[in-house]
Amino acid sequence: MAVVKVIEILAESTESWEAAAKEAVKEAAKTLSGIQSIYVENMQGIVEGDKIVKYRVNVKVSFLVHD
């Protein structure tokens, strides 16, 4: 029987929300193995001078727990 754990990560990008989500997975993969999926729970944009300058995501990362 598989056991899955979920953690929450906040990530940021100057490019897009998609890039921020990819950054979250990239950083999580440095210390976790068996990542199965992510769920983007929240997105936020930081605006300066009528332009979005930072894209932020709050993601839940699901990964397998190994014995």
Number of domains observed in the structure of the chain: 1
Q: Per the structure block, which two tokens stand in for 35?
A: 């990542």
Give the sheet arrangement for strand 3-13, strand by strand.
Answer: 3-13, 51-65, 35-48
Q: Per the structure block, which two tokens stand in for 1?
A: 């029987």
**pLDDT tens per residue across span 12-36:** 999 999 999 999 999 999 999 889 9
* Domain at 27, CATH number: 3.30.1660.10
Helix, strand, coil percentages, rounded to 5, for the chain: 20, 60, 20
Q: In terms of residue numbers, what domain contains 20?
A: 3-65
The pTM for the full model equals: 0.86
**pLDDT tens per residue across span 30-53:** 999 889 999 999 999 999 999 999
